[in-house]
Structure 1
Amino acid sequence: MPKKEKTSMSWLLRYLSPVKGRLMILLILLLTSTGLQLLNPQIVKRFIDTAAGGGVLASLIQLAGLFLVAAVLNQLITVAVSYLGNDISWRATNQLRGDLLKHCLRLDMRFHNMKTPGEMIERVDGDVTNISNFFAMFIVQVIGSFVLLAGILGFMFTVNMPIAIVMTVFTLVSIMFMVFIRNLGVNSSKNEREASASLFGLIEERIAGIEDVQANGNVPYVMNRFHRMMRAVFLKGRKAWMLRVIPWNTTVILFALAVTAVLLLGVRYYLIGEISLGTLFLIYQYTQMLNDPIEMLGDQVQEFQKAKSGMLRSRELLSNRSEIMDGEQDHLHEGALGLEFEGVNFSYNEEKPVLKDINFTVKPGERLGIIGRTGSGKSSLSRVLLRLYNIDSGVIRVGGTDITKLKLPALYRRVGMVTQDVQLFDGSLRDNLTLFDSHVSDAFILETTERLGLRQWIDAQPEGLDTHLTTGGSSLSAGEAQLFALTRVFLTQPSLVILDEPSSRLDAATETMLQVAVDQLMSQCTGIIIAHRLATLEQVDKIMVLGDGRILEFGAREALAQDPDSHYARLLITGREEELA
C-alpha cells in the first residue's frame, strides 16, 4: 500500500479508537455469523445423505429443526451486526464532522469569502457521509467477507482438493484485481463531489438572494445555470460510476467461469462415485456462498473509491490554515480601553489597497466618529480591529497591547461590534440575546433591553424571554433587529464598542431614544461609531473623515465643526441644506 494511502487510512482509523469496545463486540458477532453460515450447508448435506440412505424420520426432523434454529439465529445476528456497524460508523464520522466544522469556524474570512455556505455544507456533511457509508459496510462486509472466504476455502480443502484449488484461484484473482484497480475511480469520484458542492453552492446563493432574483426577473438565468450545473453533475457522476463498477463486472465474469468449472468437476466426481449427492450439493452451496463475499468486496471497492475521495477532500479542508494566529496574552487591564493605529496598511488583494498608512489614537473613554463615502475603508477598519483579517503592515493596539499578541477570545471578550445585519439562531429569545451564555441573568437582560427600547417588544412576545425564535431574522423588523444587535453587544459589557451604522434602519423617534440609551451604556467604555448620518455623531469626542483608504481629517469634533475649511464642517452644511430642501 502506498505511503500516502497508509497515511490516509491511519488518519481516518484514529476516529475509530473511541469505539474500539463496540468494534470487539462486532467482531465476535461477525465470527459467530460466519460460523452459522458455514454450518447450514453441512446440515443440509447430512439431511440429503440421510434421506438418500433411507434414514429414520426422527433424524431428518432433528436436522431440519437444527437448520431452522441456525437460520433464525443467524438472521438475528445479521440484524445486530448491521445496527452495530452503522452505530460505529456514525459515532466515528460524527466526530469528524465536528472537527471539520470547528476547523472551518476557525478559518479566516479570506477563506470564507471564497466558499459559499452550500459548498461548505457539502464538504462537512456530504463528503463525510460517503466515509460513513464506507465505514458502516466496510467493517461488516469486508472483514466478514474475508472470514467467510477463509472458512469456505479451508473446509473445501478437506472435501475435494481440485475443486478447492479452482475456488482458491478464482478468489485470489478476484481480490488481486480489485486491489490493483481500487483507485481507478477516486479522482472521478472527487470531481463528482466537487460538481455536487458547486451545485449546492448555487442553490444556497440563489435562495439567499431570492428577493433580488424574483424582483429583477432573473429566474430564467438562474434556472439556466442550474441546468448546466446539473448536467456537469450528471456527466461527472456517470463517468465516476462507470469506473467504479468495473470491479463488480469483472467479478461477475470470473464467478461465471469458476462456477462452470466447479460444477463440471463436481458432477464428474459424483458420477464416478467419489462424492455423495449431499457432498455435491455442499460443493454447489459453498460455490454460491463464495460469490457473496466476492461481490461484497467488489461493492466495497466502489464505496472505497467514493470514501477515499471524501477522505482526500476532508484532509484537504483540514490542511487549510488560518492566517489569523492566536497570541499568548490572555487578558487586558480593566476599564475602558484605548485604541491606537500606527502605520496600518491593509488590502483584500494585492492589486487594490483598502487602508493606507492609517495613524490615529483614541484615549480610554473617548468616542470616535468615522465618516466617509462608500468604499472609503470604514468597515474594513473595524474588521482589522477585530482581527477578521490580518493587516499588511503596521500595528493596532488595544489597551496599549498589540492585538496580534492577544488570544482571540481575550480580544473578543473586551471588544464588541454591532453590525447592520442581525442573525437569529434557532432557540429561545434569551439564548439569542445572550448568544447561549447561561451566566447572564434575566434581570440584567431586561434592564438592558429597557434602556435600549426593546423591552416593550419582548413583553409583547407570547412567552417573554422563553419565546422560541427561528433561524434567520424574519420575526424582527429592521429597527427591532438593530436594537437586538445592540442589546447583544452591551450584555457582554465590553470595554471597547464598534457601532457600524447603528441607526441606519431606525426612524427619527426611535433613533433619539436609542441615542440616549447608547450614551448611558457607553459611559464606561470607549466607542467607535461608523455612520453616514451626521446626527448620529453629535455626542462623539473626535471625528475621522476617510477617503480612498486614507485619513483626510482627524480631530476634536467641536474644533472641526467650527473650522469652515474642514471636511466635517462642509458635510454638516450640506446635511443641513438637504434637511431644509
Structure 2
Amino acid sequence: MAQQKLSIYWLFRYLRPVLGRLIILLLLVLSSVAMQLVQPQIVQRFIDKAHVAGIVADLFTLAGMYLAVAVLNQLFTLAVSYLGNDVSWRATNQLRGDLLRHCLRLDMRFHNMKTPGEMIERIDGDVTNMSNFFSMFIIQVISSFILLVGILGFMFTTHWPIAIAMTLFTLSSLTVMFIIRNLGVSSSKAEREANATLFGLIEERIAGIEDVQANGNVPYVMKRFHREMRNVYLKGRRAWMLRIVPWNTTVILFAIAVTVVLIMGVRYYTLGQISIGTLFLIFQYTQMLNDPIERLGDQVQEFQKAKSGMLRARELLALQSPIINGTKDDLPAGALGLEFEHVHFSYNIDKPVLHDINFTLNPGERLGIIGRTGSGKSSLSRVLLRLYNIDSGSIRIGGMDIQDLKLQTLYRRMGMVTQDVQLFDGSLRDNLTLFNPLITDENILATTARLGLRVWIDAQPQGLDTHLSAGGASLSAGEAQLFALTRVFLTKPSLVILDEPSSRLDAATEALLQSAVHQLMSECTGIIIAHRLATLDTVDHIMVLRDGRIVEFGKRELLALDPSSAYAKLIQTGEEEELA
C-alpha cells in the first residue's frame, strides 16, 4: 500500500506543473467519449426507421448526424493524442532534469562505478517508459473508465438484464487486472537493468576503440556483446510474458461475455421484446465494451514498465552523496593560503592512499609535487577540490575548512587543469568560457594571446564563433591543453592546480607556455603536479610523495643545493622517468 501511495505521489508530483493542460485534456477526453457513445444510438435509430420503411429525409438526416459526429470524434481524438504527448514529455523532462541534477551532485565514488552508457539508460531510457505511461494515462485510463460507465449506464436504460451481464463481465475483468497489476514489475525492472548493462558495455568499448582494435580484442568484445544481448532477450521475454497475462485474461472473459450477451439479445429479439436496432445497439455496445477494457489491460502493461522505471529512478534519487555542502562563503580576496593538517584518505577502507599529509602554503606561493605513479599526487588534488571526502584531518584554504565552505564558493575560487581535456559541441567561445556569457571577447583574446592560442584562433574561418564538434577532433592534444589552461585563467582563480600543464606540448611551445603561466599565476596560489622537472623551475616549494606519504618538503632552491635531498638527486641524475 505504501508503494502504491508513493507511485501515485510521483505521478501527481510531475503532473502538477501541467495541471492547466491536464484540465483541457480531460475536457477533450470527455467530448471524445460522448461522441463514441452517441454514434451507436444514431445507428440504432437509423436501422429501426429503415426497418419500418421510414421517411427517406429522416434517414439522410441521421446519416448526416452520424458523419458529423464521426468527424468531430476524429478531431477530438487527434487533439487528445497531441496534448497527451505534450503533457507527458513536459512532465517527464522535469524528472530527467531532477535525475541529471542529482547525479551531478553525487561524489566521484558513485561515478567511478557507473559507465556513461548505464547512466544514459537510467536517466533517459527508464524515464521514456514512464513518459509512454504518462502520455496515455489520462487518454486511456480515465477515458476508458468514463466510456465503461457510459456504456453500462445506457445499457441499463435500454435493457437491464443484459446490462447486468455486461456489468458482471466488466467487474470481473477489472478485478483480475487489479489483482495481477504488479505481476511483471520485478521482471520489467530486471529487463531495464539488463538494457543498462548492455548500453554500458557498448559505450565502454566504443570509448576504448583504439585499444580494442590495436590489441585484436574485437572477437572478445563481440562475445561479450552477444552474451549481454542474450541476457536482454531472456529477461525481456520473461517480462513480456508476465505483462501480457492481464490482456490474455480479459480476452478470455470478453469471449465468454460476448457469447452470453448475443444469446440473450437474440432470445429477447425473437420474443419481440427488443427491436432489430436495439439488438444492433446491444451488439455494438458489447464490442465497444471490449475496447476500454483492452486499453486498460494495455495500460496495466505500461504501468508495470513505468513502475519499474519509477522504482529505479527513486533508487537513484535516494542515493545521498557524502559530500555535504557547507554554509560559509566569506573567503578573503586575492590569493588564498593552503593548509593540510594530518590528512588521511583512501578510496577503499583497506587501501589507504594518503597518510598523515601535513604542509602549508602562504598566499601567492607555488608548490611543485613530484612522485612516481600511484604516489598520491592526483589524489591530493581530488580531496582538495572535494571530489572525495577525506577520512580524517582537515584542509583549509584562506583559513577556512573546505568542508565548511559552500561548494559553489570553493569551485569559484579554485581552478584545475588536467591532462584529460573535455571539449563540447559549440563555438570556440563557448568552449573557452564553458558557456559563461559574462566573460568578454576582449578578455578571451587577451588571455589566449598570452598562452599562445590567439594565432590559432585568428586562423579559424569565424574566429571565436567557429563551431567545434564534441571531442574536439579538429584540435591537437597540445591545443586542447591550451584550451584547458585558458578556461581556468579566464575565471581568475585564487588557487590553481595544474596537473602537468605542458605534458602534450613540444619543447618550443612549452618554453613559451611556462612564461605565460608564470605571469598568469602571479596573482594566485599555485600547485603544479609534475612529470618533468623542467616544469618546476619557477615554483617556491617542492613536495616529494612516495606511497602516499611526504618524504620531502621544502624550498626548491634549498633542496636543489642539498646533495642528500631526493629532489637534488633527480636533478643530478636526470632520472625524470622516475616521476612517471
Q: TM-score, normalised by structure 2?
A: 0.99
Aligned to 2:386: 387
Partner residue in 2 for 1:149: 148
- Do the aligned partners of residues 425 and 49 (structure 1) sit closer, same or farther apart at CA in structure 2, a change above 3 Å counting? same
- Return the offset for 1:532: 1.1
Distance in 1, matches of 2:378 and 2:454, equals 29
C-alpha separation in 1, matches of 2:2 and 2:443: 58
State the match for 1:213 in structure 2.
Answer: 212
Partner Cα distance (1:330, 1:559) in 2: 37
Instruction: Find the counterpart in structure 2 of residue 483 from structure 1.
Output: 482
Q: Describe the superposition over 1:113-160 as per-residue Cα deviations: whole angstroms up to 9, x where unpaired.
A: 011000000000000000000011111000000000000001101111
Residue 137 (1) aligns with residue 136 (2): yes
- The one-character-per-residue Cα deviations of 1:216-236 (angstroms, maximum 9, x if unpaired) are 000000000000000000000
Find the residue that maps to 1:325 and give its secondary structure. Answer: coil
Q: 1:392 to 1:362 in 2, by over 3 A?
A: same
Unaligned runs of 5+ in 2: none
8 Å contact from structure 1 (residues 421, 481) kept in 2: no
User: 1:549: which partner in 2?
Assistant: 548
Q: Which residue of 2 aligns with 1:405?
A: 404
- Give me the identity figure in percent: 76
- Code of the residue aligned with 2:100 in structure 1: it is L
The residue that corresponds to 2:106 in the other structure is 107
Deviation readout 1:291-335 (Å, 9 max, x if unpaired): 000000000000000000000000111001111000011231101
Instruction: Give the match for residue 373 of structure 1.
Output: 372
Distance in 2 between residues matched to 1:139 and 1:218, nearest whole Å: 50
Separation in 1 of the partners of 2:43 and 2:205?
A: 63
- Partners in 2 of 1:414 and 1:546 — Cα distance? 26
* Alpha-carbon displacement from aligned partner over 1:462-508 (angstroms, at most 9, x marks no partner): 10000011111212101111111100000000011000011111111
Match of 1:63 in 2: 62
Is it true that 1:194 corresponds to 2:204 in the alignment?
Answer: no
Give the alignment of 1:522-541 within 5 angstroms.
Answer: 522-541=521-540
Q: How does 1:306-345 map to 2 (within 5 A)?
A: 306-345=305-344
Equivalent-residue separation in structure 2 for 1:461 and 1:8 (angstroms): 53
AA aligned opposite 2:238: K
Q: For the Cα contact (< 8 Å) 1:186–1:309, is it kept in 2?
A: yes
Matches within 5 A, 1:22-41: 22-41=21-40
SS at match of 2:486: helix
Residue 20 of structure 1 aligns with an amino acid whose one-letter code is L
Contact 2:498/2:528 (<8 A) preserved: yes
One-letter amino acid of the structure 2 residue matched with residue 61 of structure 1: F
Aligned partner of 1:428 in structure 2 is: 427
Instruction: Tell me which residue corresponds to 1:285.
Output: 284
Corresponding residue for residue 360 of structure 2: 361
Counterpart in the other structure of 1:276: 275
**Aligned equivalents of 1:519, 1:330: Cα separation in 2:** 28
Contact 1:116 1:201 in 2 (8 A): yes
Q: Does structure 1 conserve the Cα–Cα contact (< 8 Å) formed by 2:532 and 2:576?
A: no
Question: What amino acid is aligned across from residue 82 of structure 1 in structure 2?
Answer: S
Deviation at 1:574, TM superposition (A): 1.7
User: Normalising to structure 1: TM-score of the pair?
Assistant: 0.99
**SS in structure 2 at match of 1:552:** strand
Q: What is the aligned partner in structure 2 of residue 229 from structure 1?
A: 228
Alignment match, 1:496 = 495
Q: CA deviation digits over 1:384-439, x for unaligned, max 9?
A: 00000000000000011100000001011111001001111111100100001111
Q: 2:135 is aligned with what amino acid?
A: A
- 4+ runs deviating over 2 angstroms: none
Determine the structure 1 residue equivalent to 2:166: 167
SS in 2 for 1:55: coil
SS in 1 for 2:574: helix
- Which whole-Å CA distance do the structure 1 matches of 2:457 and 2:567 have between them? 39
Aligned AA (2:189): K
**Structure 2 partner of 1:52:** 51
Give the Å deviation of 1:442. 0.5
Question: What is the distance in 2 between the residues matched to 1:538 and 1:280?
Answer: 99
- Residues 334-361 of structure 1: per-residue CA shift (max 9 Å, x gap): 0110100000000000111000000000
CA distance in 1, matches of 2:4, 2:347: 37
The CA deviation string for residues 56-95 of structure 1, in whole angstroms up to 9 with x for no partner, is 1100000000000000100110000011111101100000
SS of 1:264 mapped into structure 2: helix
Alignment match, 1:239: 238
Is 1:466 paired with 2:465? Answer: yes
Residue 162 of structure 1: how far off its partner (Å): 1.3
The answer as to whether partners of 2:533 and 2:576 remain within 8 angstroms in 1 is no
Letter matched to residue 23 of structure 2 = M
Q: Distance in 1 between matches of 2:214 and 2:231?
A: 28
2:81 corresponds to which residue?
82
Q: CA deviation at 1:577?
A: 9.6
What SS class does the counterpart of residue 302 from structure 1 fall into? helix
Helix, strand or coil: the match of 1:421? coil
Q: Matched residue of 2:334: which SS?
A: coil
- Supply the distance in 2 between the matched residues of 1:147 and 1:8 (Cα, whole angstroms): 23
Unaligned runs of 5+ in 1: none
Match of 1:444 in 2: 443
Mapped partners of 1:489, 1:362: distance in 2: 20
Aligned-partner SS, 2:424: coil
Aligned match of 1:11: 10
In the alignment, the residues of structure 2 paired with residue 574 and residue 223 of structure 1 have an alpha-carbon distance, to the nearest angstrom, of 48
Counterpart of 1:398 in structure 2: which amino acid? I
Q: Compute the displacement of 1:8 (Å).
A: 2.1
